Amino acid sequence: MQQTKNMGLFASLMAIGVALIWGGNFAASKYALLHFPPFYVIFIRYLLVVVLLLPFARPSGLKKSQLFTLSLLTISLHFTLVFSALWLGLNIGTTVVVIQLGAPFSCLLGVIFLKDLMGPWRTFGMVVAFIGIIVVAGTPEVADNWFAFLLAIAGACAWAGSNVYLKTLGSIPVVPLLFWTGLFSLPQTLCVSLLIEHNHIALLQAAPVTAWFGIVYSAVFSTMLGYGMWYWLLRNYNVSQVTPYSLLVPIGGFSSGIIFFNEQLTLHMLIGAAITIAGVAIITIRRPKLVPAPRA
């Protein structure tokens, strides 16, 4: 049973650390994408995750069709779409703001498929978040990268779909979830990579240290360590206590883009990001109320 105790200093620092790790993953992934194309990056990343988690793997309790669907939504669609946006030139700051749309999209899908009750506050937050994205869409960065911008939005939709689908499956241990979804994603991403991307062996042989650093960071720190700590927090504290810390991810993303890629944070972008994050904050803090499921 989930505890109701307040988060102490250690747990709060852990939550902040996870958010910063995930924010830094945008810069790490960008380094990998400077050399490898997006589907190839995702394939190598999750191949590494599967190999490292193999000694700890055990049955997840899910059907193969469920694991396939989860891996398709979370990895083969969400990550590859977002990585494709970065690969095509969308900067880190814009990308990290756009994928915050995962929260309002999750609300909409929750209403449709899970009978969530939106309420006035969450509806207001969703409207605010979309207004912020409209402001971001008016920046010169987006004007020069419309297709990449739309890919990032599609990636946020896929993430929302995975969240809603995951809710229907009940509680799943994090290690089996990461292992089996990663394993099921390998043939999906490899097949697409072989079809539309080229020179796989040559890219491996010529990969610089920075590209390998980006992949290792994504696999070990962002995926295994980040999700491991996050799920530990969710098991030990209320969801409403933990999830607001995810609002720090854009700060980590903006910072990594500025520090490692000298990205410029314009006033226009800053206003759009602030509006979007404010809307997401309202949605995140105002958790949905679910209609009780009928008893079997």
Of 278, 290, 277, 283, the C-alpha closest to 122 is: 283
Alpha-carbon distance of 286 to 291, in angstroms, equals: 16
**What is the residue whose two structure tokens read 């924010």?**
23
Helix (H, G, I), strand (E, B) or coil at 290: strand
pLDDT band at residue 4, thresholds of 50, 70 and 90? low
| pTM higher than the cut 0.75 | yes
Question: How much is the average pLDDT of 202-231?
Answer: 95
Alpha-carbon distance of 252 to 246, in angstroms, equals: 10
| Amino acid sitting at position 83 | F
Both structure tokens of 53:
């988690």
Question: How much is the average pLDDT of 104-120?
Answer: 87
Q: For all residues of the chain together, what is the average pLDDT?
A: 91
| Amino acid sitting at position 188 | Q
Residue 237 has pLDDT above 90, yes or no: no
pLDDT at 182: 96
pLDDT digits (tens, 9 = 90+) for 73-85: 999 999 999 999 9
Calculate the dihedral angle through the C-alpha atoms of 211, 216, 218, 224, rounding to the nearest 10 degrees.
170
Run of H or E including 229:
helix 227-236
pLDDT digits (tens, 9 = 90+) for 117-144: 888 998 999 999 999 999 999 998 898 8
pLDDT band at residue 188, thresholds of 50, 70 and 90? very high
pLDDT at 268: 93
Question: How much is the average pLDDT of 247-263?
Answer: 94
